[in-house]
Amino acid sequence: MIYKMLALNIEGTLLQDNGRLGKTTKEAIEYAGAKGIAVTLITSKNFASAHRIAKWLKLHSSLITHQGAYIASELDKPIFVRRISEEATRDLVRFLEGFHAQIRLVSERFTLSNRVKHPNKLMGKVIYQTSNPFSYAEQYVDDLSAKLEQTPLSPPKIEVIFSDGEDIQAAKKAIANMFHEVDCIVCGNGKLDIVPAGISKLRGLLYVCDRMNIRREEVVVIGSGLDDLSLVEWAGLGVAMGNAHPAVKNASDWVTRSNNENGVSYMVKEHFRKQQPIDFLKKMKLLK
Count of CB atoms situated within 10 Å of the CB of 77: 8
Q: How far apart are CA 217 and CA 215, in angstroms?
A: 6
Minimal CA–CA distance to 234: which of 272, 202, 200? 202
What is the residue extent of each domain of the chain? 5-81+200-283, 86-196
The 10 Å Cβ neighbour count of residue 195 is 27
Q: Domain 86-196 falls in which CATH fold?
A: 3.30.1240
CA dihedral 63, 66, 70, 74 (to 10 degrees): -50
CATH homologous superfamily for the domain 5-81+200-283: HAD superfamily/HAD-like (3.40.50.1000)
Q: Look at residue 244 and give its three-state secondary structure.
A: coil
Q: Could you tell me which of 149, 142, 185 has the C-alpha nearest to residue 44?
A: 185
Single-letter code of the amino acid located at 61? S
Cα–Cα distance for residue pair 208/107, rounded to 1 Å: 21
Closest by CA position to 89, among listed 233, 195, 245, 236:
195
- The mean pLDDT of 148-161, rounded to a whole number, is 97
pTM above 0.85, yes or no: yes
**pLDDT per residue over 122-151, tens digit each?**
443 333 344 443 468 899 999 999 999 999
Whether 5-81+200-283 and 86-196 share one fold: the answer is no
User: Beta strand 101-106 with 110-114: parallel, antiparallel or unpaired?
Assistant: antiparallel
CB 102 within 8 A of CB 75: no
pLDDT in tens, 206-234: 999 999 999 999 999 999 999 999 999 99
- The C-alpha atoms of residue 157 and residue 162 are separated, in whole angstroms, by 16
* Sequence letter at residue 242: G
Q: Tell me: the pLDDT tens digits for 83-107?
A: 999 999 999 999 999 999 999 999 9
Asked which of 75-84, 127-136, 149-158 is least confident by mean pLDDT, the reply is: 127-136
Asked whether the beta carbons of 252 and 37 are under 8 A apart, the reply is no
Find, among 47, 45, 43, 48, the residue nearest to 7 by Cα: 43
Backbone φ and ψ of 228, nearest 5°: -100, -5
